[in-house]
Amino acid sequence: MADKRTIDELRILGCLGFVVALVAYVYFFGLPKQSVEVVGWVWLATIAWDVRRPVGDHMAFLRDWWPPFVVLTLYLYSRGLSDDLGIFSVHFTEPIKADEWLFGGHLPTTYLQEHLCGVPCEKSLPPRWYDVVLTTVYYSHFFAAIGIAAYLWRRNRPDWIRYMRRYLSVISIGVVCYVVYPMAPPWMASRDGYISTDIERITGRGWFDLGSSHGHATAQQHISAVGNQVAAMPSLHVALSVLVAWWTIGRLRTGWRWLLVLYPLAMAFMLVYYGEHYVVDGIAGLLLVAGVMAAWKAVEGRRETESEGEEPTALESAGQAR
């Protein structure tokens, strides 16, 4: 009992230390928004939860996660390539025509902002309750998919490998699309005169009245800071929310699992309403995940029928190391 009590006390102290550190980070630097930041905090969370374990066990996280960390770092610093290279011109009109065709000549973003935000829609307007909910959904993009990966790393390493293959494939294909097909989001198209009505970028509006003025400023700064303004097609926000729902629904057995379908639907609704994406961006994100899931299912099914003895990949080696 004494040993168990000591272990529990150490875990409580470790978790309290983690919470204090995270709160201080958010206060001084804003909400962690990039995947590489979130991975770092996930590592610290695993240390806080099992602080009593030897240092070597905690370093195993770095050994296992370095391949995805490299990919996420490349993603972070390559999203702006289409801005810097200037090889491909930015597309403005195609998504507008596509959304208008889908909705009988009406642009969904314009309709939603007029009915849910106001005329004119301004980010400084007091947020409604649904703005708080939708901004929370928006921010979940930055930790939901990584959170599942962290859980699988601790609980089911073969599943962690399969999940990370799909997660990193979605991100990598998305970056390639951003480079070869840079596309302006609705708020930018409106600003540059391609849309006759005013569309405001109101991302983060739901959290405007939460916390101190300092927290408000840093939260808004982080939420609005985007590495590539024309990384819109496909929507990785929608894609990763679809991946999270798809993966989780496929592994849960309760009938309540189907409620997870609401997650990508809410994400897509929020992005269109906030002027960040067109509906066709979300459809493209859904198709991207469907293609990646089908491709990896075929590859893994074929591998299962082949003889073993091939050299494992870096990711597989990391997964089998412990």
Evaluate whether residue 289 is within a structural domain.
yes
Number of domains into which the chain is organized: 1
- Whether residue 7 has pLDDT greater than 70: no
- List pLDDT tens digits, range 61-103: 878 887 777 777 777 666 555 555 556 688 889 999 999 999 9
Evaluate whether residue 83 is within a structural domain.
yes
- Whether residue 308 has pLDDT greater than 60: no
Evaluate whether residue 247 is within a structural domain.
yes
Evaluate whether residue 127 is within a structural domain.
yes
In the chain, the percentage of residues whose pLDDT exceeds 70 is 81
- Whether residue 221 has pLDDT greater than 50: no
Q: What is the pLDDT of residue 212?
A: 40
Residues 183, 277: Cα–Cα separation, whole Å: 10
Domain coverage including residue 99: 62-320
Answer yes or no: are the C-beta atoms of 276 and 267 closer than 8 Å: no
User: Please, what is the average pLDDT of the chain?
Assistant: 80
Q: What is the pLDDT of residue 62?
A: 79
Evaluate whether residue 85 is within a structural domain.
yes
Q: What is the pLDDT of residue 228?
A: 62
Q: Which letter does DSSP use for residue 129 in this model?
A: H
- List pLDDT tens digits, range 121-175: 887 788 888 888 998 898 888 888 988 988 888 888 889 889 999 999 999 898 8
Answer yes or no: are the C-beta atoms of 237 and 271 closer than 8 Å: yes
Evaluate whether residue 6 is within a structural domain.
no
Residues 319, 59: Cα–Cα separation, whole Å: 14
Evaluate whether residue 126 is within a structural domain.
yes
Answer yes or no: are the C-beta atoms of 95 and 246 closer than 8 Å: no
- Predicted TM-score (pTM) above 0.85: no
Evaluate whether residue 11 is within a structural domain.
no
Q: Which residue has the higher pLDDT, 292 or 123?
A: 292
- Which position has the token pair 């101190």? 212
